[in-house]
Chain A
């Protein structure tokens, strides 16, 4: 993986990789991808992907309100909030 690919992935993940770290990050991730590529040594044609160990399906419940209103308690965790809203830098000029 080269530096431009690292940049692209970092942007998708909303992470910053500084130019000073870029080489090391590329080397480390290259090593991990080499490990992962051992998967290609086995033929998996016709094998169903397994997403859940027990192949379970999502349990459904009655469509009833079970949560209580805890808006103020949860908003209190936010780094910045006002009038029941999360505050972020201005998005629209």
Chain B
């Protein structure tokens, strides 16, 4: 039961193999046993989960057959949940209990999913390893000595480790795709604007996008059907129809033009990952796809431009944490300025402070044109590279990350950590959809194939990922103990 994916669980629930209450109870027991070592969850809501599961069972008995009905769900702790602590992995929001649900939370609740808890993450989603969390690092279920990736590391560890079959994540520079790659699961980041950002705690507003972490692309299609769509409360939410992603999954690959970007196979890519990704591309070719070499000439500028745009937007977004309206407040402030400065200095961790300082610098008088405007111009060049490529190809495919999961503490230098996202960041700058699907193992650790689509190419992307999962079984290879028999 704990290894099944959403599509399978949905079928089992329909035929009455077990109830949602039984399924949720199994997940909760599994969490109790495994979470002390994986640290995937920041909070668990056992009582409400069992009540929601009982309601789902009753709805099913009354004839409801929505695909996500009664399926356990974990939310990244960046999504506001009414009455349930939402920390964003920070001391700043340790005691923050939102009075409302995020748009994504409302929609998945409406689809009948059962919320079982909130997952660990890098503080304010700033990190690629989950090590910046105030609540301690989550661990990779394939090897607890290694990171699960980040920032949606808790969600990835929970789904890979058999704790929960589906979870939400957010992706500002790779925060869904890279942990999916490191944990051997499927991570989907939709086009910018496809899913509501309302009630999702802001990091970099022109880049942030919510998405899914699941055990298959077909599962991502089910979650996306529920999550996508216009939300008038998010001014950048896009008003266009939501496709029926599940009905597109079976389209054959014959004739698909797959762009293979040269800069994603440059030096720094681990040889084992390169071999695996080349083999994955060969699988697509065998199924009738055509591989076409392409260039993304400005890709090397994506990390530098991102580390202006994202910190600049973060410094503005995080100015709201002032110790006055909500969040951490220091003891005995001597005056208002001391209240602001000390509350923020105590509430934020080192990486968050670094990014606020870099962003403040980039936006400060005299530097705005040299940094922020320059980065926005490069952003257009990066987007043009993709627009140009998509005149020749339908999708672009390559590695998600240059290597497999690294040990905790291995990347102490922030710049080294930033370069982790060298293959994923340009996708956010361009606002495109991207997915990471399991594509092999190196030294027993999984890595992912990243597939990138044009604007609002969600349906085709999920279709290609699903077809790849019909040709391979990498996505079936969860960690040995994910069935729950062993500790």
Contact = CB atoms under 8 A, between A and B. Distances in A.
Nearest to A50: B380
Contacts of B48: none
B418 A59 contact: no
Contacts of A16: 341-342, 345
A42 to B, nearest CB: 6
A59 B237 CA distance: 9
B444 interface: no
A74 interface: yes
A50 B308 CA distance: 13
A58 to B, nearest CB: 6
A13 B356 contact: yes
Contacts of B333: 88-89
Interface string B314-351: 01000100111111010001111111111011001000
A53 B206 contact: yes
B298 A42 contact: yes
Interface stretch (B67-75, B141-149, B299-307): B299-307
Nearest to A8: B364
Contact of A39 (B232, B305, B322, B325): B305
A28 B344 CA distance: 20
Given A9-B360, A13-B360, A25-B354, A36 B308 contact: yes
A66 to B, nearest CB: 8
A70 B99 contact: yes
A59 B234 CA distance: 10
A38 B431 contact: no
Contact count band on B: 35 or more
A79 interface: yes
B430 A15 contact: no
B307 A77 contact: no
B206 A51 contact: yes
Contact of A31 (B329, B337, B364, B415): B415
A93 B412 CA distance: 47
Contact count band on A: 35 or more
Interface stretch (B107-115, B117-125, B371-379, B397-405): B371-379
A53 B413 CA distance: 30
Nearest to A56: B236
Nearest to A77: B326
Given A28-B414, A52-B236, A54-B193, A39 B304 contact: yes
Nearest to A34: B415
Interface string B67-100: 0000000000000000000000000000011010
Given A36-B307, A39-B308, A53-B192, A29 B358 contact: yes
B357 interface: yes
A52 to B, nearest CB: 6
A89 B323 CA distance: 11
A47 B373 CA distance: 10
A39 B378 contact: yes
B340 A50 contact: no
Contacts of B358: 29, 32-33, 36
Contacts of B376: 49-51
Contacts of B25: none
A18 to B, nearest CB: 9
Contact of B356 (A15, A41, A42, A48): A15
A65 interface: no
B99 A44 contact: no
B247 interface: no
B380 A89 contact: no
Given A14-B344, A31-B415, A79-B329, A47 B357 contact: no
23 contacts: A9-B360, A12-B364, A13-B319, A14-B337, A14-B340, A15-B353, A15-B356, A29-B358, A32-B415, A37-B304, A39-B305, A44-B374, A47-B378, A47-B380, A49-B379, A51-B376, A53-B429, A53-B432, A54-B238, A56-B236, A77-B99, A89-B333, A89-B336
Given A28-B354, A32-B414, 14 more contacts: A14-B341, A15-B348, A28-B413, A32-B358, A35-B307, A36-B371, A38-B304, A39-B304, A39-B378, A48-B380, A50-B383, A52-B236, A74-B99, A89-B339
